[in-house]
Amino acid sequence: MSDASDPGPDRGARHLRLSLTTRGTSCRVRLLDDLAPATCAAVWQALPLAGDAYHAKFARNEVYTLVPRIPEAPRRENPTVTPIPGDVCLFDFEPWEIGNPAYGYEAGTAAHHAQGATDLALFYDRNNLLLNGDVGWVPGNVFGTVVEGLVEMAAACNDLWRHGFAGERLVWERD
């Protein structure tokens, strides 16, 4: 797998740094202000953000964190149900959508926040499909693309899948 690349000049673009703290790995993400301006603005304003790292059960090659709902984030903007490697997505969930005990999120986490939760996700490999057996299609807003460090981050994400995510944190900050 090769790094996602930016085909044009990157001048003036805003960037994020996503880090898996325990594994000591990070990647650089260019915000897609032209395709998802409201989502980019809402996330940028909310930064820095951090939370427990989770590996997806259903979507396949996804690592994400849940934070209390970012109210300014739009429900749908530049949506996809088939994210590609390097896509960075936002999912907006009402309390009843994410707090289902079957999902296994512990009490007191963002999944049980009274206002709902925002799921910030990195897709690190191919063959993802955002379909949940309980609710159907779960479109995510694609608001960023990895421009540096995808290969290293994918290796860390695979390690997270194989060896567990307990104790791992996913940090989102301006770069």
Query: In sequence order, which residues have a C-beta less than 8 Å from that of residue 85 and are 6 or more positions away?
Result: 1, 4, 61, 123, 124, 125, 126, 146, 150, 154
In this prediction the pTM is: 0.89
Query: In sequence order, which residues have a C-beta less than 8 Å from that of residue 105 and are 6 or more positions away?
Result: 66, 98, 99, 111, 112
Higher pLDDT: 38 or 74? It is 38
Q: Which fold has domain 15-174?
A: Cyclophilin (2.40.100)
How does pLDDT run across 105-140, given as a tens digit for each residue? Answer: 777 677 667 788 999 999 999 999 999 877 889 999
How does pLDDT run across 14-25, given as a tens digit for each residue? Answer: 999 999 999 999
Return the domain boundaries, the chain.
Answer: 15-174
Query: Mean pLDDT across the chain, nearest whole number?
Result: 89
